[in-house]
């Protein structure tokens, strides 16, 4: 990954942070994009000899996303890889979900992924190469209770990935999607806290896996890194489930 420039959204925590760490370890220059301040993380990377840029971004806002890629161009000159890991979760039954929450989740998870892909593809087409990895969810494939909004947004990400891969293979751009199962991140913990029975919900989600445990962010980052690498050069439009066996397990 030496010489590669990687933009990671949602880089402040969870899977996004683990992905950023993985790429830095492999010698890439990393743009840490998040609504939260990633300045200290970027400074820590630079102090250890790495290359990092911190950019505050709202992925649901077109101008904010455009500025993210402008700053990336100004600092590093190009972008090779984009990891769309920014996401929101909402738990609740459809008739209880305020429309504002639907808009917020869809705008971040689906529209945000689209906006980042669009800005990246505009640049990658000029270079004749590029890799995009979107982060979906096993909930794009299985119907779990009380997560219809989040699940719909991630199902959209899965099919958006396939369509973009189909459109831009001719441009030398590979687009793939990783669908993690329940992974021990702040996002998952916040989801449990929205439940009427957080401990029971946590236990049920953990038991939904074959492996009987939550994934670790670095385990998902390993898959993302593989898809971004030349070792996955014949993969595009692929949806890779790293879900602890959730989608293989009968109820």
Write out pLDDT tens, residues 87-134: 999 888 999 999 999 999 999 999 999 999 999 999 999 999 999 999
pLDDT at 213 over 90: yes
pLDDT, residue 197, reads 87
CB 202 within 8 A of CB 236: no
Mean pLDDT, the chain, rounded, equals 95
> For residue 83, what are the β-bridge partners?
8, 133
The percentage of residues in the chain with a pLDDT greater than 90, rounded to a whole number, is 87
Angle at 37 between CA 140 and CA 2, to 5 degrees: 75
Q: In whole angstroms, how far apart are CA 6 and each of 58, 84, 219, 221? A: 18, 11, 19, 13
pLDDT mean over 71-81: 98
Handedness of CA 186, 176, 34, 26 (dihedral sign): positive
pLDDT mean over 190-203: 84
pLDDT, residue 38, reads 97
pLDDT band at 41 (very low <50, low <70, confident <90, very high): very high
Handedness of CA 213, 217, 234, 111 (dihedral sign): positive
pLDDT, residue 121, reads 98
123: closest CA among 60, 167, 173?
173
pLDDT mean over 204-229: 94
pLDDT at 72 over 90: yes
pLDDT, residue 191, reads 80
CB 154 within 8 A of CB 216: no
227: closest CA among 217, 237, 235, 219?
235
81: closest CA among 227, 187, 194?
227
Residues designated as active site = 150
| Fold of domain 5-185+217-240 | Rossmann fold (3.40.50)
Taking the model in full, what pTM does it have? 0.94
Condensed to tens digits (0 to 9), the pLDDT of residues 157-195 reads: 999 999 999 999 999 999 999 999 999 888 878 888 888
pLDDT, residue 186, reads 82
pLDDT mean over 31-46: 97
Scan for tokens 């001719």, then name that residue: 170
pLDDT mean over 68-72: 98
pLDDT band at 249 (very low <50, low <70, confident <90, very high): confident
pLDDT band at 251 (very low <50, low <70, confident <90, very high): confident
Q: What are the structural domain ranges in the chain?
A: 5-185+217-240
């Amino acid at each position: 990954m030496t010489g590669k420039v990687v933009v990671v959204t949602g880089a402040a925590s969870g899977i996004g942070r683990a992905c950023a760490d993985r790429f830095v370890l492999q010698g890439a220059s990393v743009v840490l994009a998040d609504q939260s301040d990633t300045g200290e993380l970027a400074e820590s990377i630079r102090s250890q000899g790495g290359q990092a840029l911190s950019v505050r971004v709202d992925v649901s806002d077109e101008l904010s996303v455009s500025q993210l890629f402008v700053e990336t161009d100004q600092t590093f000159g190009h972008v090779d890889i984009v990891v769309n890991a920014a996401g929101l979760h909402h738990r609740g039954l459809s008739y209880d979900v305020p429309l504002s929450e639907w808009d917020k989740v869809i705008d971040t998870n689906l529209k945000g992924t689209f906006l980042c892909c669009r800005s990246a593809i505009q640049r990658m087409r000029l270079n004749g190469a590029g890799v995009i990895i979107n982060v979906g969810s096993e909930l794009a494939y299985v119907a779990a209770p009380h997560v219809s909004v989040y699940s719909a947004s991630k199902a959209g990400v899965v099919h958006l990935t396939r369509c973009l891969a189909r459109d831009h293979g001719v441009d030398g751009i590979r687009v793939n999607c990783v669908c993690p199962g329940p992974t021990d991140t702040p996002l998952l913990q916040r989801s449990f806290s929205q439940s009427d029975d957080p401990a029971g919900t946590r236990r049920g989600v953990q038991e939904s896996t074959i492996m009987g445990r939550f994934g670790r962010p670095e385990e998902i980052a390993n898959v993302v890194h593989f898809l971004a690498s030349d070792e996955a050069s014949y993969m595009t439009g692929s949806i890779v489930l790293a879900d602890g066996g959730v989608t293989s397990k009968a109820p």
